[in-house]
A and B are shown apart, each in its own frame.
Chain A
Amino acid sequence: MFSPENTQPGKAVLHPEVDQKFTKVEIAVESLAPFMTTILQIEDNLANRILTERVLAPHGYHIIQADTGESGIEMAIENRPDLILIDIGLPDYDGHTVLSLLQQIPDLALTPFVAITAWPADKAIEICERYGYDGWITKPIDVKTFPALIHKFLQLKKNDTSDQDFRE
């Protein structure tokens, strides 16, 4: 008899009738994760925000965006995203100041913070290390590699997500 209790952890099993009609397909819960993964982008440039949405949304990410440091802080606290992309150059508080505050919020302790910067590589590395970013991406964004980079950054703090809820 079909019983949800028979499912393996992390896997959903089709009803036997459905299973008989179609090729056996195992839908791992983990494959649903992108549809529940929220990325906050703090970026003042409209064109860059549009580009990010267009490149990442097809991969199932839920993109939320803020155009100032202050609104980005509010959205981060309110939404507890899975990843935060921070543009260094913001018109009110720059990315470093935003990061400095967000790092002090316990609810965001497992959230990777990634700088989006036009700095040369050597300077970007120094700044990221000093401030404690989890990584950086150079501008202009390479649309071909961007999704893979995002996936990589999302894995950074996943080791300690045993208590994390799946968001609706």
Chain B
Amino acid sequence: MEILPADQFTLEQLTEAYNQTRVDYIVPMPMNVDTLREYNRVYDISLAGSCVATREGEIIGLGMLGLREQRSWITRLGVLPSGRQHGLGRALMDFMLTVSQKHGVPTAWLEVIKGNDPAHNLFRRCGFVETRELLVTRRPPTRRQDNTLFNPTELLHLRTHNQDVALEFLQQRQEWPAWTNQTESFANVPNLTLIEIQLKDGSVGWVAYHASLLRLTRIVVGVLVGDPIEVTTAVLHTLHRLHPTQDALAENIPADDPKWPGFQKMGYFETFRRVEMVKHF
């Protein structure tokens, strides 16, 4: 068995291998070459720091490493079913942790789907500890807007901002977002939009998001003034009034986020959750 840097392989090979390692996964998240390329670009994945395990020339496992200032991120770790229980996961982790240390980052981060006990235990053995739980949530489009949740006549101001302003708002967040929601990730997403609202009672809030024809993604809510639940409800009501036909995905919301009940009022529900973990070098 060999552990090799992932930049020695094509995206096609990596995509095929990744999908094979996840064929029996709890949550199916297949990728194609385009989505893997986009994933690597948005999340600052280093293919030289990522790794592939091969046996007799065949890929049997891989892991990907994101690198940013002062931190790294381990993601998409997977081993083919036939290659499990042979220490392969640990070997892939050791490779990426070594790369992280060589880059001088003080911390490495990852998320593991809650319930994936073999992976969770592996990460604990590698020295990772839990920090919090993160929700992956969805909201199907609804035919009618429910104005009993929020009355649009309570809006005093509504402003729509472009990417640059959106990044400024995101940069000023007080909370520590998960890797996928960090400002560096959003900076790599084209055509980001931010809606800022002010209500008659003085509340102020915003939502950043990316809209495509079929769905809304990269949804992040900020509450500047006012009750977190009420302002979140108001800002999401406004968002979905502007985009009534699109499916929505809001990923990695901290489970204890005071804004989460506002999401729920607007029809978001949890599909699964992740356990965020960190290792201090």
Contact = CB atoms under 8 A, between A and B. Distances in A.
A91 B32 contact: yes
B174 to A, nearest CB: 31
Interface stretch (B5-13, B23-31, B231-239): B23-31
Contacts of B138: 96, 127, 130
A126 B138 CA distance: 12
Interface string B250-281: 00000000000000000001011000000000
6 contacts: A92-B35, A96-B138, A98-B214, A100-B245, A104-B245, A130-B138
A45 B261 CA distance: 37
Contacts of B28: 87-89, 118
A87 B141 CA distance: 19
A128 to B, nearest CB: 11
B247 A97 contact: yes
B107 interface: no
A93 B140 contact: no
Given A92-B35, A130-B140, A101 B29 contact: no
Contact of A89 (B30, B141, B215, B246): B30
A68 interface: yes
B32 A92 contact: yes
A90 interface: yes
A68 B214 contact: no
A43 to B, nearest CB: 10
B141 A68 contact: no
Interface residues of A, number: 24
Interface string A97-108: 110110010000
Nearest to B249: A97
A68 B34 CA distance: 12
Interface in B118-168: 138, 140-141
Contacts of B35: 91-92
Those 5 A-B pairs whose CB atoms lie nearest each other, nearest first: A89-B28, A91-B32, A100-B247, A97-B247, A91-B30
Given A91-B35, A96-B247, A44 B140 contact: no
A126 B140 contact: no
A24 B87 CA distance: 70
A123 interface: yes
A89 B26 CA distance: 11
Nearest to A140: B24
B214 A100 contact: yes
Contacts of A87: 28
Contact of B140 (A89, A96, A118, A119): A96
B138 to A, nearest CB: 6
Interface string A116-150: 00110001001100111000000000000000000
